[in-house]
Amino acid sequence: MEQTAITAGLKMLRLNYLADNFDSFTSGCDKDGMKAGTIAGRIVELELIERSRRGTEKRISQARLGRFKHITDFDWNWPEKLDRKKIEKILSCEFIDQKRNVILAGAQGLGKTMIAKNIAYAAAIKGNSTLFTTASNMVMTLKAQSGQADLNRTLKKYTGPDLLVLDELGYLSYDCQAADLIFEIVNRRYEAGSIVISTNLAFKDWNTVFPGAACLTAMIDRLTHHVEILKIEGKSYRLRESTQR
């Protein structure tokens, strides 16, 4: 069989790494004088590595993180109050297996979104399906659905992933319909999937976000039943950078 036919067959079998690196692979086998069993084992090993890499890339893409700074660039010395050990433990993503939630609470400009995106990134790297979104974007998407069937499909988008990261809850206020939709997400994920929420408000002030919402107490109750709450205190990092410039 000619090489072009071999590589085409490998593509059909979805042995993409071997198809793309056929020349170097065969040259290495010839050089090392590998036996058939050793060659077969090497093929399996390389293909598993390649599929793992592509799977990771797909999960990161599906997480919709956009651009963000890696946690290694986080200025741990800037916040006046921050439990670094707790954040590093959360970045291990054990809380996802335990179906626990994480609340990142603090004023604007202290790195809540950066930490939240790094949690989502770490979750995707470790093999978890993940979705990052802002609270306002999720509410607008849910409200835009024209019928119950469309709404149910869209709800699954937010209830399906192993981890849902909901950013910027507290910057806008929502009507009772929006509150009910957010509660539906929280309720469906309760003890079934983890949620990370970043907020600038204490729970006692969430009534300003969801004024008159009958579901507010039940929402907070479900979110905090199994939860790690991380409080970040200090002055705005973005304001510091603007002042320096």
pLDDT given for residue 238 in this prediction: 62
pLDDT tens digit string along 50-70? 778 889 999 999 999 998 899
Residue with tokens 């490998």: 10
pLDDT tens digit string along 172-205? 999 999 999 999 999 999 999 999 999 999 999 9
- Which whole number is the average pLDDT over 142-154? 93
pLDDT given for residue 37 in this prediction: 44
Q: How many H-runs (helices) and E-runs (strands) does the chain carry? A: 12, 5
Q: Which two tokens stand for residue 154?
A: 């869209």
- pTM confidence score: 0.82
Task: Report domain 71-244's class.
Answer: alpha beta
- Rounded-to-integer distance, Cα 48 and Cα 50, Å: 5
Residue with tokens 């042995």: 15
CA-to-CA dists, residue 102 to 88, 174, 228, angstroms? 13, 22, 5
Question: Residue 102's closest CA among 213, 193, 180, 235?
Answer: 193
pLDDT given for residue 12 in this prediction: 64
pLDDT given for residue 64 in this prediction: 96
pLDDT given for residue 210 in this prediction: 95
Mean of per-residue pLDDT scores for the chain: 88
Residue 195 near residue 189 (C-beta atoms within 8 A): yes
pLDDT given for residue 38 in this prediction: 63
Give residues with Cβ within 8 angstroms of 193, minimum separation 6: 99, 159, 161, 162, 163, 164
Q: Is 164 exposed, middle or buried (0-12, 13-18, 19+ CB in 10 A)?
A: buried
Q: Which two tokens stand for residue 132?
A: 């990052």
Position 17 pLDDT exceeds 70: yes
Q: State phi, psi for 228 to the nearest 5 degrees.
A: -115, 120
- Which whole number is the average pLDDT over 152-162? 96
pLDDT tier at 36 (50, 70, 90 boundaries)? very low
Question: Residue 108's closest CA among 210, 242, 235, 244?
Answer: 235
- Rounded-to-integer distance, Cα 130 and Cα 160, Å: 9
pLDDT given for residue 84 in this prediction: 94
- Rounded-to-integer distance, Cα 138 and Cα 179, Å: 11
pLDDT tier at 26 (50, 70, 90 boundaries)? confident
Position 224 pLDDT exceeds 60: yes
- Which whole number is the average pLDDT over 20-43? 67
Question: Residue ranges of the domains in the chain?
Answer: 3-59, 71-244
Question: Residue 68's closest CA among 113, 109, 102?
Answer: 113
pLDDT tier at 82 (50, 70, 90 boundaries)? very high
Residue type, 189: R
